[in-house]
Amino acid sequence: MFPVLTPARWPLLLLLLGVMARLGAHPIPDIPVRGFFDLDGQARIEIEIDVRFSAADPNTDPYLVQAEFEKLPPGRRAELIEHARTFATDSVAYYFEPTGQFLPDFQFSFTGMGGGELRLPDDPVVLTGRWTTRLAAGLNGFRIEARPQGKYSIVLVNTVGAQQVQRVNVLFPGESSYTLDLTNLGGVLATTPVAGSVGVSGGMWETFVDFIRQGFVHVIPLGWDHMLFVLGLFLLSRQWRPLLLQVTTFTVAHTLTLGLATLGRVSIPGAVVEPVIAASIAVIALENIFRPKYSPGRLAVVFVFGLVHGLGFAGALQELNLPATSLMVGLLGFNLGVEFGQIGVISLAWLATRWLRREDLYRKLVAVPASVAIAGFGLWWTVQRIAG
């Protein structure tokens, strides 16, 4: 039997949620690695390093925006570049087949996300490393590995000639990518491809599965704010109808804005989205305390906040510059992974509370104290993000 959540045990719950708050709410973006292979044998490899990786706690550190970047002294800029160089080496290993591992000598510069220009004062600043080479005779494949000691996932996007490769890899630490077929480039490379290597077309199913995983981990275990929001929906009522209506409404709303934002149809600065997401957690939790009965008005609140949460999810895909087909497949897979994550949160919450069958005791011993704690950290995150 699970222990009763009496007031004496509230400090333990607060400690647990305090750890969540310290971990931050939104994970920082994945690390994009892009390979560009021209038909004449020229090649360029890029890696994008978020400046926040140099912080003690990247998940809670705010973006470095252009307005703040312009104030940085040359010495601090040099430190960030050196850290990015070390971080890139520690996170990703590169291989040409059949010769084996090589170490790109990246030249880093400050850019916008996706290697774009910095135009507006609130544009996030990243470090983009670029390395160019001419492919040697005899090569027939390119792949990367997310080093086991790394802490973040790697997203590999390749381009051959003018065509982006449809297969997009999402790698967790310790995983190796597919091998890109480099045969016949430049007229001097090997003509026999590596067994199982990937060309420009195909690989959509693997891309779909990769992004299901990616969507899931953006809820469990990385999306603390999304987990707490869904948990807040659960705490109002364990009856299936109110819970199903709330979760369905939330899903429809965040699916809508996730798609629109990822496709570039909607754009709202993270400085606005992130505090609202945090505030939504507090509002839902406070409603559980002061308006404990389900009503249709609850669905309107959930829908509005779901729209904002979708904008938060979209950041994971917007910055990858995926080819159109891969983007649609990745979007579908990512959204499905998010739904699996939500189901996981609700299932765990149900299993953890099913022992307490009396609804009056459930509200007194679980729903109210848990909602108080969730509201407190939602408010804390709101203040933290506004101040950050």
CA 225 – CA 234 distance, rounded (Å)? 14
Q: Report pTM.
A: 0.79
Give the per-residue pLDDT at 5. 45
Cα–Cα distances (Å) from 88 to 46, 70, 104, 376, in that order, read: 10, 24, 10, 37
Using pLDDT thresholds of 50, 70 and 90, give the confidence band for residue 150.
confident
Mean pLDDT across 124-139: 91
pLDDT at 23 over 50: no
Predicted confidence at residue 1, as pLDDT, reads 34
Q: What is the pLDDT of residues 193-211, one digit of tens each?
A: 888 888 888 888 999 999 9
User: 47 with 85: CB under 8 angstroms?
Assistant: no
Residue-level pLDDT at 178: 94
Query: Could you tell me where the DSSP H helices lie in the chain?
Result: 10-23, 66-69, 74-91, 204-217, 224-236, 240-262, 270-290, 296-318, 324-353, 359-362, 368-387
**Beta carbons within 8 Å of 72's beta carbon, 6+ residues apart:** 80
Q: At what angle do helices 10-23 and 368-387 cross, to 10 degrees?
A: 30
pLDDT at 242 over 70: yes
> How far from 367 is each of 224, 232, 360, 364, 371, CA to CA, in Å?
18, 9, 10, 6, 6
